[in-house]
Chain A
Amino acid sequence: MEPTLSDRSFRLVSRVHYKIRQPERGDIVVIRMAAGHKTMYLKRILGLPGERVRFKDGVFMVDNNPLPEPYVVRNGSWNTGEVTLGPSQYFVAGDNRAMNAREHVMGVTHRSRLEGLLLW
């Protein structure tokens, strides 16, 4: 999530937020893995259920419209195939778009994997 969040920093996460509210675009979320809670991903929600999304020349497209992303410092030149998100699916990515797309963990995750919202 660099440059928005730096490595090895302490953060505060609300684990009740998504029990009462729906995830929104732009939220920085904690994504859990099945085995436990020691390792989790921090990603930003870019695509919401039902949307057709992709990266085109570094710009994130939602239903063929570019998504304004003021938090991205350097766009890079990512290109991905189009994905249509299912009813409980979200497209997430980090803010470090300068890195190689193949080395960046991004893509579709399920609502049940969203453990909480990053507050600070």
Chain B
Amino acid sequence: MVKPWFKIGILILLALALGLVYARCSNRDARLIHRQWDRLVGSVEKRPEEPPLQSLGRANAIPDFFAREFHVSLRPVLPNMKSRNELLSTFSYVRGAVTSLSLGTSDRTLTVNRSAGTAFMTATIRGTVVYGTTRETHAYEFDVDWIKEDGTWRIQTLTLVQSIEAPPVL
């Protein structure tokens, strides 16, 4: 004869176990998305005196972080992009034009919708760019929509958000 408190105990343990599994899965998605973002940021970076072949390889990796259908809106810093070729040519150009580019994510928030296979991230990137003798540090803020495609989290939309919206400079 199984006592009632034993059944309740088993149910509570089951509920806890399910909760833990759910939390672990959610955290796993968040971890994967953070890792993807860090890898993308790392691919955009350029080290001083980076060998051209390595530079090309890093630029080539950038489109892989984006979904089959995506939209990148980085105006006014860079043109809008909707194809892998546009991504590749733009980032290859940027990496070729600068001596070095170091980036770091200073802040980020992430909301994962596991059932829909989507996630929304806000991120602030601080970057230091060196070209010639000029060295500049900027901060940029992004809204990022993620989608899980073929088991991998990829960027569906990447939008530059301007906390200070620049007027047209004449």
Contacts and interface: CB of A to CB of B under 8 A. Distances in A.
Same complex for A and B? Answer yes
A111 interface: no
A62 to B, nearest CB: 14
Interface in B85-121: 106-109
B166 A107 contact: yes
B134 to A, nearest CB: 9
A107 B13 CA distance: 56
A103 B136 contact: yes
Interface stretch (B2-10, B53-61, B65-73, B122-130): B122-130
A105 interface: yes
A39 B107 contact: yes
Contacts of B168: 80-81
A33 B141 contact: yes
Contacts, number: 79
Nearest to B137: A7
Contact of A92 (B107, B108, B162, B164): B164
A43 B107 contact: no
A85 to B, nearest CB: 11
B123 A31 contact: no
A107 B109 contact: no
Interface residue range, chain B: 20 to 34
B151 interface: no
B163 A35 contact: no
A57 B111 CA distance: 45
Interface in A81-120: 81, 83, 91-92, 101-103, 105-109, 113
Do most interface residues of chain B lie in helix, strand or loop, or is the interface mixed? strand
Nearest to B162: A107
Nearest to A82: B167
A101 B123 CA distance: 25
Interface string B19-33: 000000000000000
B54 to A, nearest CB: 29
A54 to B, nearest CB: 7
Given A33-B107, A35-B107, A35-B123, 16 more contacts: A31-B163, A31-B164, A34-B109, A34-B163, A35-B106, A36-B106, A38-B107, A39-B107, A79-B170, A83-B167, A91-B167, A105-B166, A107-B164, A107-B165, A108-B164, A109-B163
Interface of A: 31-39, 41, 43, 54, 78-81, 83, 91-92, 101-103, 105-109, 113
